[in-house]
Chains A and B, each alone.
Chain A
Amino acid sequence: MVQSLDRLKETASQTAGPYVHIGLTPNFCDIPGVYPVDLGDTMVNDKTKGERIKVKMRVIDGADTPLKDALIEIWQADADGLHNSPSEMRGAADPNFTGWGRKPTDMTTGECVFDTIKPGRVPFKDGRKMAPHLTVWIVARGINIGLHTRMYFSDEEKANDEDPVLARVEHRVRVPTLIAQRDGDTYIFDIHLQGEKETVFFDI
């Protein structure tokens, strides 16, 4: 026998189910008056620094059908590459930018749109700069444990080429699944849950 490490086990995940909106975006699903606003609905205000962008996302299943009951959260750095988080030790992030957004996909079209800013570059563990990216987390009915991925930007080709995380993708043909395409001030990002175009998901 040896000493016990006294570690606990993480609580097991269960699907968010079809009614995730009741808990996380009640105003969106006609439960008004409990919370003044749905958390994560607004990320920016008039004073937020950085380039304003829209990000339009869909989550697509193995039969090429967009999910109409998914919920997506994004987490990102501000324009200078700093996070609005107590764990950010490099400096104070833009107080006019939350860095965190949450949107349900539309019950008819399956789309959701984040109004945000283009993030700055954040250092990797070894100090190299990662390309600008959003951290993305997806839950829905039928998804047993939330899926982590990243969204990079199509007009950051040089930064993407030297990004240490994208460099880890062994099958280079899959790299484009992590890159949103720019159309005016909007980036389009389709997340494919399975099939030939399956998005790269991370075990973080």
Chain B
Amino acid sequence: MGMPLQAPMEISFDYTRSLGPVLGPFMTALAERRILGSRGSDGRVHAPAIEYDPVTFEPLTELVEVASTGTVLSWSWMPDPFDGQPLDRPFAWALILLDGADTPMLHAVDAGSPENISTGMRVQARWAAARTGSIRDIECFAEPGEPDEPGERVEPVTMVTTPIRLRYQHSASPQESAYLRALAEGRLVAQRCPACTKVYLPPRGACPTCGVPTEEEVELTGTATVTTFCIVNVPFPGQRTKPPYVYASIVVDGTDIPMLHLILGCPADEVRMGMRVEAVWKPQEQWGMSPENIDHFRPADEPDAPFESYAHHL
């Protein structure tokens, strides 16, 4: 059956966080090159500031400034920093107890090499050149130097933008990989479940009803029946097809489950349940191991299928 196919998958989004009455002032203070903690019910100062007391769960309202200097309580070396981490060269992640605080904060220490950092070491915040009102305003911690220059006052910070990027190596199942390799040859190939005999397109690896792997291949011609459909008129981020477009549940002849595909070749309002359609392949030089080799389905020159013939697929 060949090795399973793999491809990179990346998704990203800039999340917009509203900060509220504690984290807002905390971020505002960072933009002013100050660090705030919150005083808990037991008198402890939590820095970074936290919103709710870990003992009584009551909201914490007393914010107190702590120093930008502190002591390393523990650390771990980061030899190969990831994209987006505080420093692009090897650094230490450290739990730092800031002077005036009772709980430590996690941040990066720019120590150069692991020989230069130890538990008990004194460090000081190194402020970033750009002041953004986020934790990034502390570039990292480092050996103490000159006392901080007081920062200018800024407008209250109420929101932060948090870009999140996720990178995966996506793997297809062996069965789906066989279907994709066939597509690259211009063939549409489904697989039959050995237990219930249902034919799946695309094959999923295992039959979702019986839980057994599918192996027997079923070659298809690419004619199909529209079971139901939607006309998409709404645009949204990341959309790959310009609205309006029709995407339909279609049951390809010889299979037992609908798949989704585009219907083109007629006005959107002429697409019907029961309409007979046929696959339209892209030019061969554009083929890859992708269902997008079939550009869309178009009306076939046939009468509509009777409702009873596809009602059990709805």
- Whether chain B is bound by chain A comes out as no
Residues of B whose CB lies within 8 Å of any CB of A are none
